[in-house]
Amino acid sequence: MYQASSTMPARLNRKQYTTSESHEHDSRQLRDRTWQIVAAKSQLSKPGDYVAINRLGIPLLIRNHDGELIAARNVCAHRQCELVELGNGNRKELKCGYHGWCYGGDGRTRKLPVAKDFPGFNREAHRLDMYPVRVVGGLVMVHLNPESIDADSSANKFDCVDGLDGWKDWSDEFARRSNDSQWGLIMNEELRFDCNWKVALEGSLEGYHLEEVHPHTFGPAPDEEHVNHMFYGSGTTLETIARNESWMTRLEIWLAHRMTGGHDPTYRHVHIFPNTTGAFQDSAGLIYQFYPLAPNRSAMIALGFGRLADRGGLVGKALAKLRGWGAAALTRRLIAEDGAIFPKVQRGMEGGNSRPRLFGRCEERLDAFHRHWMNTFDDEPISPSDTCDNRAITS
């Protein structure tokens, strides 16, 4: 059931989707105050494995250093050369290809060619910038503002100095949905959209568009009586057991029984404020995070996990692989369908319509996001009494 009793106004205005000032504000807030999903754990399973990305303006290197996952700015402390090219691979040493400076897992230099030419060299002053790393199931996460993390926090906790630690509430569920004992990685992609990151995120938080945008992949959204929305201080959820009667659904149920001995029809969608979501079914799950590239450009890291077979031997493993391939293909199609409509929303935002947007009762999770963003990240937060919690939302 929905919790809203009336139509709700959109609380973020169009300038917050279109201007350079808003883009810089959003990037800074996400960079300084949120955890970033940067890689799948399986990409970093062997010593020397690395992933190099750019995230929110920071060149980032995540590496398995003798069994420990570390994250560093991908820039040499000597002449600021890029340490490794973007992508992933394996290197025995963390070494700059320009002058041969080598670094340890703490970011300090381990080898300095012709060290006598650097008298009085200060290893503390000239080292790599390092970032906190957390592992949640099959996810590797990095915080790009080390000063915001509690210095006494262990490597398994999400304790932030400013209290913005919503991942503490959801890490167990996301770990269960991505651990390598039950799930295998079936998708690992960065996808880009010609729209503001909030446009893309909001498209994932409602099913009102399904019949129009996904008529052959999803079809109509379930009726209200078959949907349950829940609201919490750190996020929102949607649950439903309503399923269509297509041949794909029947095949999925048959495969589940062959591979695991049963089938749970529940579909669960989780939004962790502000920019992380998870879509979970019995057979597969997709965890994705949105982030800005420009006022009208955004990206999404998408990690998909398929359920491993626990029965059926080689046949069960083959069926799991086939089902994982099918789930990944369907996910790519759904994202492409969404990605085709997002630029139209962005152009509409930039068109300057003075009339305010509005949300229907079925879109109440968007209202929750707006309330949380304004109260937590905006320069002029709304009244605390107007924020979303686990009570019913009213306009």
* Domain spans in the chain, listed from the N-terminal domain onward: 8-17+183-386, 35-163
- Class of domain 35-163 as given by CATH: mainly beta
**Mean model confidence pLDDT for the chain:** 88
356-380 pLDDT, tens digit each: 899 999 999 999 999 999 999 986 5
4-52 pLDDT, tens digit each: 999 999 999 999 999 999 999 999 999 999 999 999 999 999 999 999 9
7 in Cβ contact with 29 (< 8 Å): no
Residue 287 has pLDDT above 80, yes or no: yes
pLDDT given at position 70:
97
CB neighbours (10 Å) of residue 195? 25
pLDDT given at position 384:
39
Distances (CA, A) of 93 to 41, 96, 337: 20, 9, 43
Q: Output the six-digit token pair for 119.
A: 């008298």
Cα three-residue angle 208-200-38, rounded to 5 degrees? 130
Residue 392 has pLDDT above 50, yes or no: no
Residue 395 has pLDDT above 50, yes or no: no
* pLDDT bucket at 353, cuts 50 / 70 / 90: confident
SS3 256: helix
Residue 382 — φ and ψ, nearest 5°?
Answer: -80, 170
Distances (CA, A) of 363 to 164, 209, 210, 271: 25, 10, 12, 13
pLDDT given at position 133:
95
pLDDT given at position 385:
38
Q: Domain 8-17+183-386, CATH 3.90.380.10 — does that match?
A: yes
203-219 b/e (C-beta count within 10 Å ≥ 16 → b): bbbbbeebeeebeeebe
Tell me the whole-structure pTM to 2 decimals: 0.89
pLDDT given at position 201:
98
99-135 pLDDT, tens digit each: 999 999 999 999 999 999 999 999 899 999 999 999 9
pLDDT given at position 165:
59
173 in Cβ contact with 234 (< 8 Å): no
Residue 301 has pLDDT above 70, yes or no: yes
pLDDT given at position 158:
55
Q: How far apart are CA 133 and CA 70, in angstroms?
A: 6
Distances (CA, A) of 287 to 151, 153, 375: 28, 25, 25
Residue 327 has pLDDT above 60, yes or no: yes
pLDDT given at position 22:
96
The whole-number average pLDDT for the span 252-260 is: 72
Distances (CA, A) of 115 to 97, 120, 222: 17, 10, 68
Cα–Cα nearest to 141, from 55, 237, 199: 55
